[in-house]
Structure 1
Amino acid sequence: MSAGLKLAEFVSLSHLEILNKGRDYDSTRLTITDVNRPGLQFQGFYDYFDPMRLQVIGKAEVMYLKGLPEEARRKCFDDFFLYDIPALVIARELDCFPECLESARLHGRTLLRTKETTVDFTSQTIELLNRVLAPCVTRHGVLLDIHGEGVMITGDSGIGKSEVAIELIMRGHRLVADDAVEIRKFSNGLVGTAPEVIRHYIELRGIGVIDVRQLFGLRSIKNESQLDLVVNFEQWDNTKFYDRLGIEDHFIDILDVRVPCVTIPVRPGRSLASIVEVAAMNNRQRRLGFNAAEELARRVDQRADLGSGKIG
C-alpha cells in the first residue's frame, strides 16, 4: 500500500487555494480514499467521526453555520479543529467565516478552498485518491493492449520480449509499458502502466532505445490497460511437456488477484507475435464463456459414445 499522497501535492494537483497552512502542512499525507462532510460534527456528534479523512464543507454546511450565533459558530469550529484532521476544504469558492479562519490559525489546521461544487470535488478527490493509494507492485515485462486485452509478456532478459512487442505494435496493437510495469489493484481488477520516466520508450538490442510514440504515432501507445493475461516466454526444453490442448487453466497471483497465465516455449522459427495475438483472442473468448479445448473434448467424448452405442 502506498504511504499516502502528500497534502501539498494534492493541493497542487487539485488547484486549491490555501487560506491557512497548518503546522503539519508539509508533512501531512492523505492515506484514506474517502472524504467526510462534517455536518453531524457541527451539531456535536463525534462518536463515529474519522479525523483521518479529508474534510469538505459545501453550501448545506455553510447555510447551517450561517444561521448560528457567532459564539455558537466559533465553538463549532473550535471543537472541530481539536481533531488532527489533514485539512478542511471549502467548496464552491464560498466565503470563509472569520471564526473558521481564526480557529484554524489557533489550532494550526490547514484550511483550503476550491471553485468546484461539493459533489464534483468529492468525486474527483475520491477517484484521485483511489488511484494514488491503490496497492502497487512493479513487475519486469512488456505490457500491450492486443485486441482490447491487456497482455503482459514476461520472461528472462534477452529472450525477445521487446522484439515481439515491436512486431505487435507494427500490426496495430498498442504499447503500454516496456521493461518495468507498474501494476495497481482496484476493485474491478488490475491496471498496468509505465513509470513516467520510461513511458512510450522501448529498448531493442542492437538498435537501442526508441520512442514508440514518435516513431509510430499516437495510435501505437496507451497510457494504461487492464491486466487480463500473462504470457511467459521460456527457452524450449525438449525434456519438458508442454500443454497441447489447454484444457487446464493456469493462473499467476499478482496482489492477491488470479490472472490467467500461459507459457510459450521459444525456439527459432516460431512466430511469437502471432502466437501472442492468438493467446489474447483466446483468453477473451474464454472470459466470454467459450473454451475451444473443452468444446473439442466434448465432441471427442460424444463421438466415442456414439461409437460404443451409448447414444442413439
Structure 2
Amino acid sequence: MSESNLPDYRVQSEAVRDRFARIKKRPVTMEVAGLSKTFQSRHGTVTALKDINLTIHKREFVCVIGPSGCGKSTLIRILAGLEQATEGEVRLDGKVVDKPGPERGMVFQGYTLFPWLTVKKNIMFGLIESGYDKGTAEAEARQWIELIGLSRFENSYPHQLSGGMKQRVAIARALANKPKVLLMDEPFGALDAQTRSKMQAYLMEIWKNIDVTVFFITHDLDEAIYLADRILVLKANPGEVQEVIEVAVPQPRHPEQFLSPEFIATKKRLEELIHPPKQEDDDDHLNLVRMVPVNDEVGSVF
C-alpha cells in the first residue's frame, strides 16, 4: 500500500471509537500532573523531563516511546516511586506517589529474579513479604505459575530458564501482589525477535484476564502499536510530550494486523515524530574522514 493511500492515523472505526468512549468512562487510576525532573551535571542543569501531563484510566494499556535521552526510564522510575520529581506530582487513585508500594508492580529489561530461589519461591517472595503465610503464598504462586505456563519448571532456578521464561516469571512475580498498575521498562528488549513476539502475546492474554493497568516503555514502534490503547510520544532534550496517539487498530490484536492500513498509518506517524527530517543546522551527525582506502578490485560501491 502506497503512502498516498494510507488512511489518517487518527481516523477510528465505530468499534474503536466505542472502545475509547468506554475507557474514558472508567475511573482514573494514575494521573501525572506538571511533572518535571532536572539533574545537576558538570555541564550545569540538565532537564530530563519537562511538564509531563497524562491521565491513565483503569485497565488501560499505555505505551511510551521516544528517542534516546527523552527520559522514558526516568519517568517510569518516578511513577514507581524510585525517584522523586523536581516539580509536579504523580497520583494513584488520588493519592500522591512518593515512594515504592505494592500497588505498583515493576518489570525491568534485565532479568531481576533472585538467582538463589526457584521459580515458585521467586513468585512467593513478595507475597510472604506482604504478610501471606507460607501455605497461602505457595498456593497463590502455583496459580500464577500455571497461568504463565511454567508448571513443569516451578522448582527450576533462573539459570535453568530461557530469557522468555525468566520474563514470564518476573511478570508473574510483579502481578502476584495484585498491583493496580504494572510498570514495564522495555521488558522484552533483550529477547530475540521470535521470543519477543511470543512474550507480547503472553502479555496481551494476561492483561485481558487480569484487573491491571499497564504502563509500558519500549523503543519498538511495532510493539507499541500492537500492545497499546494509547501511545505517549516523548521528544528529547528536554523530555516533553509531543503527542498522545489513540491507536486506531481494533482490539483484540493479532499479528496479521501489522499489515493493516491502520497499523501502517500509525507507524508512519510515529516514525515522523521519532525521526523527523534532518535540518541543515542539525549537529547530530558523524564527522567522518576516510582513514583507509576503501576501493578494491571490484571498485567503489559509492
TM-score (norm 2): 0.23
Relative to its length, the structure with more strand (as a share) is 1
Rg bigger for which structure?
A: 1
